[in-house]
Amino acid sequence: MATETIEVSGHIVDSLILARILDAILESGADYELVDVAIGKTNTDTSHASIVVRADDQAVLDALLDDLQVHGANRVAQSEAVTEVADLDGVFPTGFHSTTNLDTDVLLGGTWHEVENPEMDCGIVVDGSAGATRVRTVPVHRVRAGDRIVVGRDGVRVRPPERRAGPGTFEFMNSEISSEKPKALMIRQVAERIRAARHDGARVLLVAGPAAIHTGAGPDLATLVEEGWISCLFTGNGFATHDLESNVLGTSLGVGVADGVPVEGGHANHVRVINEIRRHGSIAAAVEAGYVTGGVMHACVRAGVPFVLAGSVRDDGPLPDTMTDVAAAADAMREQVPGVRVALMLATTLHAIATGNVLPASVETFCVDINQAVVTKLADRGSHQAVGIVTDIGVFVRQLTGELCG
């Protein structure tokens, strides 16, 4: 167990700095204790926190301390900065101190010297002798053999950014809804939450839009339903129609699901399937009669998983199960909410927001879409608890099914 005490000062609560520091500590697997916290009483007072950080070993702790410095946290115990002379043009000594873009000071000869030109991802060069010391950042391609470069963590402290004055500092966070992160861990975490919910007898709600079928996720979703991972389904006429069309005729919006080629029919396939389901009277009746033999809706009927098909003014048909009265549909959704612990929202803005309207904030909500804007929109509507994952629905559902049913 390795331990270090850090401190941070400034507008650390209202600028989110303290929250980010604590989050970074936990994310790294380390733990913390707040040993001294003085919160500024008013908008203009600054705050101060001392935090003991504990990690399993020194390497993890050291890496974490580097990251925390990006947020403005410094070690309390500070000794003189150590320098080393560069031996090659364009190359730093191996243990060089890599800078943030925050205002920075370096402790040399017992005095803190301000770095002249803060810039991220640089080294720090120390020029001059005692009494005339200057410290400045230098990018790697400009270091020259013979330059004195700060190495290691000692004797370098940073200052968190000033909060800009006044209201309306419409800041945004380094949002986790970026599409550039590996998705495998996120999917594994969603699987764990679903597994935990089922283990505890809690319910899992699936909310899905028609793109879940277009992108080929139908068979995997049917498997999830069949194997008992889904407790209820909120969707609309489009999802159900495309699911039924793809299973009855092998097409989705007239395009072959298996090969992408419009082999067997055309633009009218979905209306024809709706018409036949209307003739049977309900999806369940069409399943019973053997007209529908696979797919998500089939799996729901067979497994007794309740579904709410909420109508929309853009619906074709609609299917006999689609509730054309949207107030009644929202009420039907409310009936299903008790007991839900996890909600999984796939490729739907309309049904995600509608579901967000009727869910308590305590429900763990995961919103998956290829489009980042959908996720932002859900939070804008008040469902702050939603966690966004930007990826292709097909790959998400395939991997989730692999985790849960593999």
Q: Which of residues 205-244 bind its own copies (CB under 8 A)?
A: 211, 214-216, 236
- Residue 131 has a CB neighbour count (10 Å cut-off) of 7
The minimum distance between CB 241 and its own copies, in angstroms, equals 11
Name which of 213, 313, 311, 310 is nearest 254 in CA terms.
213
* Binding track over 349-378 against its own copies, x by CB under 8 A: xxx-xx--xxxxxx-x-----xxxx-xxx-
Tell me the C-alpha to C-alpha distance, in Å, between residue 210 and each of 24, 177, 205, 278, 369: 37, 22, 17, 20, 12
The minimum distance between CB 302 and its own copies, in angstroms, equals 25
Q: 171 vs 228, which CB is nearer to its own copies?
A: 171
Does 5 contact its own copies by CB under 8 A? no
Cβ proximity of 114 and 99 under 8 Å: no
Tell me the C-alpha to C-alpha distance, in Å, between residue 216 and each of 14, 138, 207, 272: 44, 51, 16, 21
Query: Total binding residues for its own copies by CB under 8 A?
Result: 159
Interacting positions 120-149 with its own copies (CB under 8 A): 120-121, 139-142
Helix 218-226 to helix 393-405 angle (10° resolution) is: 30
Interacting positions 96-125 with its own copies (CB under 8 A): 96, 98, 100-103, 117-121
Taking CB under 8 A as the binding criterion, the range among 76-84, 91-99, 125-133, 291-299 that sits at the site for its own copies is 91-99
The single residue among 2, 5, 7, 14 that binds its own copies, judged by CB under 8 A, is 14
The minimum distance between CB 72 and its own copies, in angstroms, equals 9
Taking CB under 8 A as the binding criterion, the range among 16-24, 198-206, 282-290, 294-302 that sits at the site for its own copies is 16-24
CA-based R_g, the chain, Å: 29
Q: 200 vs 259, which CB is nearer to its own copies?
A: 259
The minimum distance between CB 148 and its own copies, in angstroms, equals 16
Does 43 contact its own copies by CB under 8 A? yes
Helix 218-226 to helix 296-303 angle (10° resolution) is: 10
Interacting positions 157-196 with its own copies (CB under 8 A): 161-162, 164, 166-186, 189
| Exposure string for 374-403, b = 16+ CB within 10 A, e = fewer | bbebbbeeebebbbbbbbbbbebbbbbbeb
Cβ proximity of 204 and 197 under 8 Å: yes
- Supply the DSSP symbol for 320: T
